Amino acid sequence: MRRRSWWVDLAGGWLVIGIVMAPSSVGPTAQAAERRPVPKEHPRLLGSKAELQELARQRPEAYARMARVARQAGADDHAKMMSVALVAAIEDDAALARQAIQLARKYFEGPIRKGHVTFGHDLALCAVGYDLCYPWWTEADKTRFHRYMNDTVDANVDSETHVFHNGWYGYKNWGIGLACYATYYENPRAGEILQSLYEDYRQRAAPALELAGEGGGWAEGYYIHYWLYEWLVFCEAARRCEGVDYYALAPKFYSQRAIASAFEMYPGIRQYGSRRPMPMGDGGGRLFGGERDKALSARRILVNYYRDDPLHQMVHAFNELTPRSSVGEYAYKDFLWRDTTVPQRDLKSMKLSHLSRGPGYVYARSSWDEDATVLLFKCGDRFTAHQHLDVGHFLIFKHEELVGDGGHYDDFGSLHDVNYHLRSIAHNTMLVYDPAEVFKNIRAGPVSGNDGGQAHNWPHHNGAVADPQQWHKQRELYDIADLLAYADRGAWMYTAGDCTRAYSPAKLRRFTRQIVYIRPGTFVVFDRVSATRPELKKTWLLQAMKKPVELSAGRPPEESASNPAGRLLYRIDNGKGRLYLQTLLPQEHEVRLVSGAELYSYGGKSYPPRRDTGPAPECRVQVTPRHPAADDYFLHVLKATDTSDVAAPQAAVRLTDREAVVSVDGWRIGFGLAELFGWIEHDGRREPLPHQ
């Protein structure tokens, strides 16, 4: 799928000040600047004392909110430390400084934590308090913190070394890096540790960003909303302290991340003025959480850096629609990162789709209005354990999720997780059932279900590779999908993928998926599926957020008239959103709606979740051919609209020996049967569907 090179280093910088600090002159394609000596004065991580005081004058409203957090009870330790330490430094408040030191003491006098725990966050908390409140630290406390820092680093040399997995960047090294810059001249080991971090990032982690994150998406999926903000905080501190700029050295990821992040937000401003990210892999984000503010702050940091780029100026306009962090105690994020000096461009001129080739994501929208229709299509390779067996999966949103991501992330490796939640049966893709197929354990969880889905025959039970070097060495295991097409012509967007290698070759010879999105809300999905034997049952899946209503006999006259072909039609309503679903191929098929107590069951076994993680699909739609055949074609037309819209899509199909031609609402689209080709026609104008 890929032919490219990777190179990069560590870090970035912290453009905290806006007017006081000039915008970075380093652009998306620039080289890393020459290193300069780390400033000897404290504070330095977030700016000098004078710069922070000027920032307080520039952003009085955010500063006042942050000061209230600092001086009132409550807030989690990180929000408290950031607020207390910043206000102490800006106002020379000794009492607040002592409060910050006491909070840090809770960590540096505690046990050394190691392994899959948040030791990196602990180091970051202490580092911020150390740097901002340095004049009030005693020599004894400084010595204890240096020892705690060095011992924590030594204990975790081998912790979380898989660079693709679990936010290695933010989880571990943002704290180590901040602690190094905070103690650079006082702790003799700080420079050595920082250099080691630099080299490992240059050799392993940065290439991972370029490989699995080209285009700004991230193959691990939803977890990027948890870890990226912290990592960017370190990048900003490193750029500010040393002038080393590594955004410019990983442009395939960093220059596109804020743009991809904007596309990953579902339309509509929700709880406490927040935006909900779409589900991708583990994590979900179905319920309100602080990662929404992290996603906003991460976009702000990158928009500030790429402030001269027109697309980022449009993302800035998007960010300004939610100008405050949704969690009140996170006011410090607004204080540090909401820079209104960035030029704004009209959001309505923003492009309506985006390709992130690294993880194999295609995002598309009908507009940038808050009632827009949204599509996500996934067809990418395997890198890490938080991914799902979901090649070919897609999501559709209009007012609410209509086509979603099945199951619940009730625990990593639970019975539900490994037999349903991460499996193909919980996604909008294809099953090919071979009764002889045996699925290996994954995530060290006991797999007992044969869902007919995608394989997971990787050496590591989590399906994760250590770094890009290992990925290339074992490429035949992990290079499992190809995006074959992406084109946007305004009125329509087209994408296609080859999902074949995600399945066992013992049962599947071919599975390609083509999606034509006709704006504002019509989707035509065409799949070619070839099994190795005719008797292997194929099942097309759709995870419906609400149980569909069958619109056949007895449906309203206006909806009946809109389906002249007489094919079975379904309607899915969720809130103000509505989805019509029509199966045109196979010509003879069966539809099964699986819901209620049966939803998490298959093959005579049941795998219910141990906890409810928020609104999830309530029905699994299964479409199967009525007669066994080696080769089958699946053609579906879906229309996302408002509940007030009773005009179901007027779709029909004509089959020839060479192609399937679907007609819907004045459009004609042709799909090749034996070969992957196609065309689209509207108002008498025909053009080919472009392929790479």
Euclidean distance between CA atoms 10 and 246, whole angstroms: 6
The residues near 373 (Cβ < 8 Å, ≥ 6 apart) are 365, 366, 396, 397, 398, 519, 520, 521, 640
> 565-572: which pairs have CB atoms within 8 A and are 24 or more residues apart?
565/651, 565/652, 567/651, 569/648, 570/621, 571/648, 572/402, 572/544, 572/545, 572/546, 572/547, 572/548
pLDDT of residue 552: 65
pLDDT of residue 246: 81
Helical ranges in 156-223 per DSSP H: 168, 174-182, 190-200, 206-212
List of domains in the chain = 49-349 (1.50.10.100), 381-688 (2.70.98.70)
Strands 361-365 and 589-595: unpaired
* Of the candidates 360, 342, 346, 350, the residue with the CA atom closest to the CA atom of residue 302: 342
Q: Which helix (H) or strand (E) holds 566?
A: none
Torsion sign over Cα 479, 485, 487, 491: negative
Q: Which helix (H) or strand (E) holds 550?
A: strand 549-550
Mean pLDDT by 10-residue block, N- to C-terminus, for the chain (692 residues)? 29 28 33 77 98 98 98 95 98 98 97 94 98 98 98 94 82 95 98 93 91 96 94 95 87 97 98 96 90 98 97 98 97 98 98 98 98 98 94 98 97 96 98 96 92 91 88 95 98 98 98 98 98 98 97 51 57 98 97 97 97 96 98 98 92 96 97 95 96 81
Q: What is the DSSP letter of 444?
A: T
Euclidean distance between CA atoms 372 and 521, whole angstroms: 9
3-state secondary structure of 485: strand
pLDDT of residue 689: 97
